[in-house]
Amino acid sequence: MKVLCYGVRDVELPIFEACNKDFNYEITCIPEYLNTKESAEKAKGYEAVILRGNCFANKQNLDIYKELGVKYLLTRTVGTDHIDIPYAKELGFKMAFVPGYSPNAIAELAVTHAMMLLRHLAYTTCQSAKKNFVVDSEMFSKEIRNCTVGIVGLGRIGRVCAQIFHGMGATVIGEDVFQIKGIDDYATQVSMDELLAKSDIISLHAPYIKENGKVVTKEFISKMKDGAILVNAARGQLVDTDAVIEAIESGKLGGFAADTLDGEAELFGKNFGDKEIPNAQFAKLVSLYPKVLISPHLGSYTDEAVKNMVETSYQNLKDYVETGDCKNKIK
């Protein structure tokens, strides 16, 4: 079985190769993302492709895959909104996703973002880089043990994030559409309004459901404590970016950190150097550093997370080949 793997970075290549020892696929790993006609045409001669986030299996690319004889469309991600699923089904592709991977990878990044903003480390190290080692009032902060942290979404990642913050001494509260059992030792489940009113830090770990729209809106932010910190390591579509920009500029938000952005493909994976960022909204966000911290969707960029994603993707393909079905199929 010949498999083409998109968006594989150099440091990930050994993991793809090591995991393949148990499957013996003929794998080809390329750094290019699936985002052009030319990148889709690279699948000539392959029966299966493995995508990552920001690899767009749209109508154009799916038509090319169909013509080239690709049968299996796999993504090494939890999210599947980069795939035109109805059209892929119409063309008969067998599809699968990764239902979960190391929750610690995302949780650790969210906590790191939050602590950088709470302790003003981005600002402080910027001053140091300018050879300014004066301790000023902007560097003064609360300790995390004197903070209340609100976790929006108490799935696997949200629960790990809650446990880390609890271990650091914070009071942790959480909100979820379901009543979550087994969290009483480290978090208290509350309503969204209570979470917004009490939290010094809010970390988003909820899924994006298109029909429900955005979670972070002007109204959401208006209910938050003045000067609170907001972290999004979940889905970019959850957040109204313009509302966040307005809240940072007004001082309503003390800081914002994001590993995902709505429409992030315009920004992430690109080096603009001395050029202007074409998207004015993203350019504004970047200009608000160090109050705004942006990382280019690297929450899952760890050894354990990549290993989990690759192993699951390989197993998904094996299940399809051997049984014609897959427990992680995209429905």
Any domain includes 331: no
CATH number, domain of 311, equals 3.40.50.720
Going by pLDDT thresholds of 50, 70 and 90, the confidence category of residue 121 is very high
How confident is the model over 246-254, as a mean pLDDT? Answer: 98
Any domain includes 328: no
User: Which of 292, 188, 171 minimizes the C-alpha distance to 231?
Assistant: 292
Residues 88 and 108 in one domain: no
In contact, 129 and 110? CB cutoff 8 Å: no
Give the pLDDT of residue 210: 86
Give the pLDDT of residue 266: 94
Residues 23 and 108 in one domain: no
Per-residue pLDDT tens over the stretch 281-323: 999 999 999 999 999 999 999 999 999 999 999 999 999 999 9
Residues 51 and 123 in one domain: no
Residues 177 and 93 in one domain: no
Q: Find the domain containing 315 and state its range.
A: 2-101+302-323
How confident is the model over 117-122, as a mean pLDDT? Answer: 98
31-35 CB contacts, 8 Å cutoff, 24+ apart: 31/7, 32/6, 32/7, 33/6, 33/7, 33/269, 34/6, 34/7, 34/61, 35/265
In contact, 33 and 5? CB cutoff 8 Å: no
Residues 51 and 108 in one domain: no
Tell me which residues are annotated as active site. Answer: 235, 264, 297
Residues 259 and 148 in one domain: yes
Whether residue 228 is predicted with pLDDT greater than 90 in this model: the reply is yes
Residues 91 and 196 in one domain: no
Structure pTM?
0.91
69: left (phi over 0), alpha (psi -120 to 50) or beta: left
Structure tokens at 67: 């013509």
How confident is the model over 130-152, as a mean pLDDT? Answer: 98
- Count structural domains, the chain: 2
Q: What is the mean pLDDT of the chain?
A: 97
Say how far apart CA 165 and CA 172 lie, in whole Å. 7
- How far lies 90's CA from each of 49, 62, 68, in Å? 18, 10, 16
Residues 90 and 170 in one domain: no
Any domain includes 288: yes
Residues 147 and 290 in one domain: yes
Residues 151 and 253 in one domain: yes
In contact, 173 and 188? CB cutoff 8 Å: yes
